Structure 1
Amino acid sequence: MRTADLVAALKAAAEPTRLRILLLLAGGELNVKDLTLILGQSQPRISRHLKLLCEAGLIERFRDGSWVYFHISDRQPGGRLALRLVSDVDPAEASVRRDRERAEALKREREATAQAFFEQHAADWDRIRTLHVAENDVEAAMRRAIGDGPFGLFVDLGTGTGRTLELFADRFTRGLGLDVNQAMLNYAQANLKSKGCLNAQVRHGDIYSLSLADRQADVVVMHQVLHFLSDPALAIREAARVLAPGGKLLIIDFAPHDLEFLRSREAHERLGFPHEQVAGWLKDAGLVPKSTEDLKPKDGDSEEILTVTIWLAERPAAQASVARIGAPAEEVREGAG
């Protein structure tokens, strides 16, 4: 950084509320409403602080529908400086601990809303997934992208009804579907049994802390999962951690759209993702983006039919693992269920 830029950045950070904001954003992306609730300050005041931090290059902003999110990017000099500054703050300090607890409570509340939606709609989940371009087109594109295999361990994160395991059952030796919602798992288990998918099983699992050791999976799939998550980048990093060298990560989700009603009606956290945003998350997780494909609505389709994007990334064959903080590489923790 130039001297002038460094001085401006340090001045911007040298204010109690702005330092609290940096501490919170170091833990994940948040929007203005989130920060207002956590910090207990007015929206205009928080917006002013965010504007100053953005101008100083310490944080970045991106739009998601009518919402604007803020984050710290370690790909930029200002972001790296911000992370160095907050790393020296005592996490046990009362105000820091209180802000962190409020942020975690907000995240739990949102995830509970999403889980309540899944609980209510478990049996209708495959129908709900058809509210975008034709599912048979999506599934055909998924099979093309992933390749013929054969694969050893195939992991489906946010497995829902187990449909993805069923779709790829002819290409893997062992399939494992993980989901945090027990109603979904019950439905998936019955569905897979009825379809004769004896090489696949499902169990409870936290997408942010998978019960798998490093470098185990040949394929990890995240099908229509990211838009429900409060921290998609963290979920991608955890998926990358369990990928074996040469392993593939397949992400299927919506392209950016403006259907705001999906936030309240179907518990969507995000209104789609731009190509470059997901590519950046993949690179940050140590993966190499290999392909991106958009499946767009056909002429005459409803305006509410959404474009689906498929991202494929790989872990370089000679790359070291992406370690989870506090977890040894050889650890295998069994999930419940």
Structure 2
Amino acid sequence: MDLLHFKALSDATRLRLVHILLHYELSVNELVRILGMGQSRVSRHLKILAEAGLLASRRDGLWVFYTAPPGGEKLAFLRAVLPFVPPDAIMRADLVLAAQILEERARTTRQFFNAIAEDWDELNREVLGALDLAEVAGAALPAGCGTAVDLGCGTGAVLSRLLPGAGTLIGVDGSARMLELCRRRFQPEDLASGRVSLRIGELSHLPLRDQEADFACINLVLHHLPVPAEGLAEARRIMSPGGTLFLADFLAHSDETMRSRYGDHWLGFDEATLRASLERAGFRPGPPRREPVGRGLTLLLMTATAC
């Protein structure tokens, strides 16, 4: 490391930024809110840190998100230096507010899905066009599967398609209204016996035991999560070694209307980035399949094995 890196950290505001972004990935507007400073001032400090290689940035449509470097010498440098800057009350308060902002993201998503639950199936058809995603996900279910889980099951279109091939079925969603509609797809005896279990919960804190699932699917859900990596890590936690994960999500795009109409947080994902995220979470992804769908979007379909 040279003098440039130490100069980049020689400012109290930039130390605050690095301290926050070692813990979270946040947008410029969110950082402005946390620091209580003007956007131009915050952007100038972010630029200095990014030019020194001490921050990584990612554009998602009109938004730019910052975080610490994903690895390598620059991250090692920050982790070596920051212990010599014990967090004061201001820096601790920064992390509290950052966590509150992420919770607000999740709460906004829950409210959105409760509000549009009745129209969700029609909205999905508008995006997917002729693609029968439930059929594709069902085809990924291994023969003789014990416990299958649909993470972010919504109104249960995919979950009900999994029922014939699984011993036990678990659906998880953060929207109580979605789960209420999902429940109508199943026979009362399947619900009463526990063969079908519907559970409310966040994908970042799944209401499942370690290694409870033999198969899990995440369909058009990852782009709604405030921190997608947390959802993938939780998916790995609840899966037995050798279990199968099926993931369907959009390839990176620039259709900003997806945020307002469908509650999307991320405008899809780069294929290489998604593969890397799966590997970091403890999966071995197979080759992806691309399917053109509605609104000019492309769906990435991936199957991965829990290592």
Superposition TM-score, scaled by structure 2 size: 0.90
**Partner SS state of residue 245, structure 1:** strand
Aligned partners of 1:273 and 1:194: how far apart in 2?
Answer: 38
| CA root-mean-square deviation | 2.3
- 1:310 is matched with which residue? 301
Q: Does 1:142 align with 2:137?
A: yes
Residue 232 of structure 1 deviates from its aligned partner by 0.7
Residue 216 of structure 1 deviates from its aligned partner by 2.4
**Partner SS state of residue 202, structure 2:** coil
**Partner SS state of residue 127, structure 1:** helix
- 2:113 aligned residue (88, 109, 118): 118
Alignment of 1:1-337 (within 5 A): 3-4=1-2, 7-86=3-82, 90=86, 93-134=88-129, 136-144=131-139, 146-193=140-187, 199-297=195-293, 304-316=295-307
Q: Which amino acid aligns with 2:175?
A: N
Aligned partners of 1:173 and 1:8: how far apart in 2?
Answer: 59
Q: Which amino acid aligns with 1:249?
A: L
Q: Deviations over 1:255-292 (max 9, x none)?
A: 11211122233321111111012112112112211121
Among all aligned residue pairs of Structure 1 and Structure 2, give the percentage whose two residues are the same amino acid. Answer: 32
C-alpha distance 133-152 of structure 1, shift in aligned 2 (>3 A): same
How many residues are matched? 305
The farther-off stretch of 259-268 and 135-144 is: 135-144
Aligned partners of 2:199 and 2:278: how far apart in 1?
Answer: 26
Q: State whether residues 138 and 295 of structure 1, in contact with CA within 8 Å, keep that contact through their aligned partners in structure 2.
A: no
Q: Deviations over 1:285-316 (max 9, x none)?
A: 1221112111114xxx6xx2421111222122
- 1:319 is matched with which residue? none
Q: Which amino acid aligns with 2:170?
A: L
Q: Deviations over 1:304-330 (max 9, x none)?
A: 2421111222122xxxxxxxxxxxxxx
Q: Deviations over 1:207-235 (max 9, x none)?
A: 11123232222112111111111111111
Residue 90 of structure 1 deviates from its aligned partner by 4.7
Aligned partners of 2:10 and 2:146: how far apart in 1?
Answer: 52
Q: State whether residues 248 and 315 of structure 1, in contact with CA within 8 Å, keep that contact through their aligned partners in structure 2.
A: yes
Q: Which amino acid aligns with 1:142?
A: A
Q: State whether residues 137 and 217 of structure 2, in contact with CA within 8 Å, keep that contact through their aligned partners in structure 1.
A: no
Q: State whether residues 65 and 258 of structure 1, in contact with CA within 8 Å, keep that contact through their aligned partners in structure 2.
A: yes
Superposition TM-score, scaled by structure 1 size: 0.82
Unaligned runs of 5+ in 2: none
Aligned partners of 2:29 and 2:243: how far apart in 1?
Answer: 38
Q: Which amino acid aligns with 1:239?
A: A
**Partner SS state of residue 191, structure 1:** coil
Unaligned runs of 5+ in 1: 317-337
